[in-house]
Amino acid sequence: MKRMALMVSMMVVGIAIMLWAGWHNLADRRRAMQQAAANHVTLTPDGQAPKDGDATAPGGDGGAKLVGKTAPAFTLKTLEGKKVSLADYKGRPVLVNFWATWCAPCKLEMPWLEAFRKQYQAQGFEILAINEDPEVGKDKIASTAQKTGVSFPILLSDDKVSPAYGGVDYLPMSFYVDRGGVVREETAGLASKDEVEADIKKIVGTRTAMQGEPPALSAR
Amino acid sequence: MTAWLLAGLLSGAGPAGQQMGELQGGLSRAERTHATVSYVPEPTIVPAGRRSVVEIHLRVEPGYHVNSHVPRSELLIPTTFALDAEETGAKAGAVEYPAGKSYRFASDAAEAGSAGEMLDVYTGAVVLRVSVTAEAGEHVLRGVLRYQACDQRACYPPQKLALLVPFTAR
């Protein structure tokens, strides 16, 4: 009987030690995590903090917002000081492209855009390239655009157009606006040349497709 | 497009950045991730009264790069750390920057006949070294880090961030 009681006591003590060790380790881990968290600073875009510790969560904009909606209107000045409005291109397919002089991928895709502009010019296709760093000065913007070989209008951003397009915080960013003024596609970042052309075809072909005619598009 | 700064996030940015680097084609807004650069303060002890070095340990998250201190074009935004007014009892000198690595936005651009410009960038661990001479005691270097980050497909606007770099002189 005494032996049984001794064994039970030893088991109880053993379990207690295991529980204490587990709790102690957990407490240590928590302390280490708290210390690491206190010493760690992560730099993120303002207003886009991941929610509930999930750094992979989408930003506050919650995904593509403008696709299927009317493209926000804007009136901006060109490098030459001429006022240009999106409304000026009513009835024409327009690619609204945001870029900056410090954005290497933007400059990479600009020659492609120029080529596509020429290719689909007969269908009324136009590109409006909105520069997002006008503070560098018109001369630098103009020389950068010239180096890329583009001839489409370069517009200088203001404090309204970027927020209207959802806060352009990632460049290049493109909005493909069809003849009816509706955003058909929206891309952030450098897409492949084929993808850019596929998106252009979506807006260039809108009117003819609605009329039941095959879109008059050039081959790739 | 204002300053980015959020303290206290511990996890997740790395895998997110890695995931972004693997994406093909343009990204939807929901696919974009956020954290690009981390500053990790480390206990630093320097000899009091003697010229020494305080290191600033930055980490560019996987899948991202920032321009080095000497990018290859005047249009590109270099990484800089500008020291604020001097701390009492501590004198800070020049900031030494590491060498960058060559990088080009190649991918399918090369296939399309566009090479893209050659860049000089930092990735992964980046250590800035600040020359200091300090009296015995606790000190903090205050300054503004400026950088401009990109991933494999796109770029974020340039950012300015206030950093506090603590160190002890004994």
- Both tokens assigned to B78: 């270099």
Residue from the list A42, A103, A171 with its beta carbon closest to the beta carbon of B35 = A42
B13-169 homologous superfamily: Thiol:disulfide interchange protein DsbD, N-terminal domain (2.60.40.1250)
For an interface test with A, the pick among B19, B24, B34 (most A C-beta atoms closer than 10 Å) comes out as B34
What is residue A101's predicted lDDT score, i.e. its pLDDT? 95
Burial pattern A67-91, b for ≥16 Cβ within 10 A else e, equals: eeeebbebebeebeeeebebeebee
pLDDT tier at B107, thresholds 50, 70, 90:
low
- Are A61 and A166 contacting, i.e. CB atoms less than 8 angstroms apart? yes
Q: What is the C-alpha to C-alpha distance for residues B40 and B42, in angstroms, rounded to an integer?
A: 6
| A103 neighbourhood in chain B, CB within 8 Å | 150, 154-155
Provide, rounded to the nearest whole percent, the portion of chain A with pLDDT above 90. Answer: 59
Provide, rounded to the nearest whole percent, the portion of chain A with pLDDT above 70. Answer: 64
Is residue B101 left, alpha or beta, with left meaning phi > 0 and alpha meaning psi from -120 to 50?
beta
β-pairing, B101-104 with B45-46?
Answer: unpaired
Q: For chain B, give every domain's residue range.
A: 13-169
User: Tell me: the pLDDT tens digits for A42-72?
Assistant: 443 333 333 222 322 233 344 458 999 999 9
A191 to chain B, any CB pair closer than 8 A? The answer is yes
Task: Note the Cα B80 to chain centre separation in Å.
Answer: 8
Q: What does each C-alpha distance from A40 to A36, A52, A120, B11, B16 come to in angstroms? A: 6, 17, 51, 10, 18
A159 to chain B, any CB pair closer than 8 A? The answer is no
What is residue B113's predicted lDDT score, i.e. its pLDDT? 54
Segment B110-115 long-range contacts (CB within 8 Å, at least 24 positions apart): B112/A112, B112/A192, B112/A193, B114/A108, B114/A109, B114/A111, B114/A112
Minimum Cα–Cα distance from A44: chain B residue:
B35
A65 to chain B, any CB pair closer than 8 A? The answer is yes
A39 to chain B, any CB pair closer than 8 A? The answer is yes
User: Tell me: the pLDDT tens digits for B8-48?
Assistant: 222 223 333 322 222 223 444 434 445 688 888 888 999 99
| B44 neighbourhood in chain A, CB within 8 Å | none
CB contact under 8 A, A55 and B16: yes
Question: For residue A178, which phi and psi values (nearest 5 degrees)?
Answer: -80, 180
What is residue A14's predicted lDDT score, i.e. its pLDDT? 58
Residue from the list B36, B42, B119 with its beta carbon closest to the beta carbon of A43 = B36
What is residue B114's predicted lDDT score, i.e. its pLDDT? 56
A108 to chain B, any CB pair closer than 8 A? The answer is yes
pLDDT tier at B126, thresholds 50, 70, 90:
very high
What is residue B34's predicted lDDT score, i.e. its pLDDT? 53
- What does pTM read for this prediction? 0.71
Q: What is the C-alpha to C-alpha distance for residues B96 and A209, in angstroms, rounded to an integer?
A: 60
- Are A53 and B12 contacting, i.e. CB atoms less than 8 angstroms apart? yes
Q: What is the C-alpha to C-alpha distance for residues B120 and A24, in angstroms, rounded to an integer?
A: 48
Place of tokens 């000190």: B139
Q: What is the mean pLDDT of chain A?
A: 77
What is residue A24's predicted lDDT score, i.e. its pLDDT? 47
What is residue A138's predicted lDDT score, i.e. its pLDDT? 94
| B153 neighbourhood in chain A, CB within 8 Å | 105, 189-190
Q: For the domain with range A75-210, which CATH number is right: 3.40.50.10860, 3.20.20.70, 3.30.930.10, 3.40.30.10?
A: 3.40.30.10
- Does the pLDDT of residue B49 top 80, yes or no? yes
Query: Which DSSP category does A205 fall into?
Result: T
| A195 neighbourhood in chain B, CB within 8 Å | 25-26
Sign of CA dihedral A185, A190, A196, A200: positive
What is residue B147's predicted lDDT score, i.e. its pLDDT? 95
Q: Which carries the bigger pLDDT value, residue A14 or residue B119? A: B119
A1 to chain B, any CB pair closer than 8 A? The answer is no
Query: Which DSSP category does A3 fall into?
Result: H
Sequence-separated (6 or more) residues with CB below 8 Å from residue B57: B39, B40, B41, B42, B125, B126, B127
User: Tell me: the pLDDT tens digits for A127-157?
Assistant: 999 999 988 999 999 999 999 999 999 999 9
Question: How many angstroms separate the CA of residue B107 from the nearest CA in chain A?
Answer: 9
What is residue B23's predicted lDDT score, i.e. its pLDDT? 26
Question: For residue A82, which phi and psi values (nearest 5 degrees)?
Answer: -80, 140
Provide, rounded to the nearest whole percent, the portion of chain B with pLDDT above 70. Answer: 73
Place of tokens 């053993």: A14
Minimum Cα–Cα distance from A163: chain B residue:
B1
| 3-state SS assignment for residue A94 | strand
- Both tokens assigned to A128: 């409006």
CB contact under 8 A, B154 and A58: no
Q: Which carries the bigger pLDDT value, residue A15 or residue A50? A: A15
What is residue A166's predicted lDDT score, i.e. its pLDDT? 92
What is residue B40's predicted lDDT score, i.e. its pLDDT? 81
Q: What is the C-alpha to C-alpha distance for residues A166 and A174, in angstroms, rounded to an integer?
A: 12
Q: What is the C-alpha to C-alpha distance for residues A188 and A64, in angstroms, rounded to an integer?
A: 10
User: Tell me: the pLDDT tens digits for A71-118?
Assistant: 999 999 999 999 999 999 999 999 999 999 999 999 999 999 999 999
